[in-house]
């Protein structure tokens, strides 16, 4: 057994994923954009070279001393592989440009992109490989793959996709077949490059977005098929969407963890997930922008009180990406608070 006081981030995270208590609560600051600030460059410039992301991630790991590296560039990098474009901003996450599927009939022409032929995906893989060389097995490297079920929001737009789901089941199945192949290839390529686990972004799975009844007919089956073919652990992230009504369904997809919303009760989620799914969350990223240092500390304490006992908990934000507008002082305050209040056992209210 590993002495608790000597746990590496990897050991800490694996212990909590095993629903046991490590030395302290592990915490993931899911920072992507902030790396650009660290390097004093624009967001567009930052993501244009993998060595920027490597340097940014390593600097943020040293500064905040959290428990993962997060070489996530931006979501639409996956749509770039399908021929899509990305719109960059100086103060927020890149957005997907015009839909690559303009008409439902375009779905018939869609082909599975080859990972190695996409310049954007290649940059991500290069960054993961370099990070793995730097940290070895000390620190988990969390890579991201958008679920086949949620990717069409960027491929064709929300409204058009909802209409497809409800009104054109055959074309929906065809789109899922393409996206599933792509997602499996992309996730496994990142694991092969050195990623420890895949954050499987699936906001559409949330009952905030689609009814459970429809999810069970569609996204649930997609995830079950997809996750079975991904050669490593996955954490399903609902990107601020609710999860409580589908906790058992998510468990049945084969995922190991779930990223949960700030709008749900963390202790209630923890009870529903206990010994089934590790809970990741749920600091409110939008509010975090205006927290004081004292508020940040209190929010960390509240989350630890709500979900840390027994392990199976990773403190993080609720969306899977901390907004650009969140100040470094708040992030440092979160880091200090976890160290001060997150040591196990945490049975008594803090």
Partner 1 sequence: MIETDVRVVGEFIDKLLSLDRLGAEDILDRARQNTSPLQVVEELIIPALEEVGRGWEQGSVALAQVYMGSRICEDLVELFLPSSSPERTSKPLMAISLLDDYHGLGKTIVYTALRASGYELMDYGRLTVAELVRRVCADSTRIILISTLMLRSALQVREVKEMLAAAGCQAKIVVGGAPFRFDPRLWQEVGADAMGATAADAIKVVTHIIEEEL
Burial (0-12, 13-18, 19+ Cβ within 10 Å), 130: buried
Task: Decide whether 16 or 76 has the Cβ nearer to partner 1.
Answer: 76
Residues 14 and 140: their CA atoms lie apart, in Å, by 9
Span of 23-31, 141-149, 178-186, 238-246 interacting with partner 1 by CB under 8 A: 238-246
Which of 45, 51, 91, 133 is in the footprint of partner 1 by CB under 8 A?
Answer: 91
Instruction: Report if residue 93 touches partner 1, rule: CB under 8 A.
Output: yes
Provide the minimum distance between the beta carbon of 185 and partner 1 in the complex, in angstroms, as a whole number.
Answer: 26
Task: Decide whether 141 or 243 has the Cβ nearer to partner 1.
Answer: 243
Total residues interacting with partner 1, rule: CB under 8 A: 36
Residues 129 and 87: their CA atoms lie apart, in Å, by 26
Span of 266-274, 298-306, 322-330, 332-340 interacting with partner 1 by CB under 8 A: 322-330
Task: Decide whether 89 or 108 has the Cβ nearer to partner 1.
Answer: 89
Segment 281 to 320, residues that bind partner 1, using CB under 8 A: 284-287, 289-290
Apex CA 235: angle with CA 243 and CA 276, to 5°?
65
Instruction: Report if residue 242 touches partner 1, rule: CB under 8 A.
Output: yes
Go through 170-207 and write b for each residue having 16 or more CB atoms within 10 A of its CB, e for each that does not: ebbeebbbbbbbbbbbbbbbbbebbbbbbbbbbbbbbb
List helix spans (H) across 29-157. Answer: 34-39, 43-47, 50-64, 77-81, 119-135, 152-156
Residue spans of beta strands (DSSP E) within the chain? 86-87, 95-96, 142-146, 197-201, 234-237, 257-259, 278-283, 313-317
**183, β-bridge pairs:** none
Instruction: Report if residue 158 touches partner 1, rule: CB under 8 A.
Output: yes
Task: Decide whether 51 or 91 has the Cβ nearer to partner 1.
Answer: 91
Which of 83, 133, 169, 211 is in the footprint of partner 1 by CB under 8 A?
Answer: 211
**32, β-bridge pairs:** none
Segment 125 to 154, residues that bind partner 1, using CB under 8 A: none
Instruction: Report if residue 245 touches partner 1, rule: CB under 8 A.
Output: yes
Q: Which residues bind partner 1 (CB under 8 A)?
A: 87, 89, 91-93, 95-97, 157-159, 162-163, 165-166, 207-211, 214, 240, 242, 244-245, 262-263, 284-287, 289-290, 323-325
């Amino acid at each position: 057994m590993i002495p608790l006081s000597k746990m590496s981030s990897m050991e800490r995270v694996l212990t909590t994923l095993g629903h046991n208590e490590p030395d302290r609560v592990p915490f993931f600051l899911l920072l992507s954009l902030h790396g650009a600030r660290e390097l004093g460059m624009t967001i567009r410039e930052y993501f244009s070279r993998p060595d920027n992301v490597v340097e940014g991630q390593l600097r943020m790991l040293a500064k905040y001393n959290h428990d993962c590296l997060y070489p996530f560039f931006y979501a639409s990098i996956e749509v770039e592989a399908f021929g899509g474009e990305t719109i960059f901003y100086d103060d927020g996450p890149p957005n997907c440009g015009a839909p690559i599927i303009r008409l439902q009939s375009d779905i018939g022409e869609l082909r599975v992109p080859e990972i190695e032929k996409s310049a954007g995906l290649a940059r991500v893989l290069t960054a993961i490989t370099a990070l793995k060389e730097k940290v070895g097995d000390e620190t988990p490297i969390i890579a991201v793959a958008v679920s086949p079920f949620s990717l069409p929001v960027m491929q064709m737009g929300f409204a058009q996709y909802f209409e497809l789901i409800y009104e054109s089941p055959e074309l929906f199945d065809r789109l899922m077949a393409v996206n599933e192949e792509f997602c499996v290839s992309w996730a496994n390529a990142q694991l092969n490059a050195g990623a420890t686990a895949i954050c499987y972004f699936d906001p559409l799975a949330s009952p905030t977005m689609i009814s459970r009844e429809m999810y069970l007919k569609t996204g649930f089956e997609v995830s079950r098929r997809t996750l079975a073919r991904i050669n490593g652990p996955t954490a399903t992230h609902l990107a601020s969407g609710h999860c409580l009504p589908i906790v058992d369904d998510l468990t049945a997809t084969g995922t190991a963890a779930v990223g949960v919303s700030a709008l749900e009760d963390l202790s209630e989620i923890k009870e529903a997930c206990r010994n089934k799914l590790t809970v990741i969350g749920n600091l409110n990223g939008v509010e975090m922008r205006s927290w004081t240092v004292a508020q940040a500390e209190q929010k960390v304490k509240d989350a630890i009180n709500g979900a840390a006992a027994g392990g199976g908990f990773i403190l993080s934000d609720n969306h899977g990406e901390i907004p650009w507008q969140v100040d470094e002082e708040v992030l440092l305050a979160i880091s200090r608070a976890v160290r001060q209040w997150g040591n196990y056992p945490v049975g008594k209210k803090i």
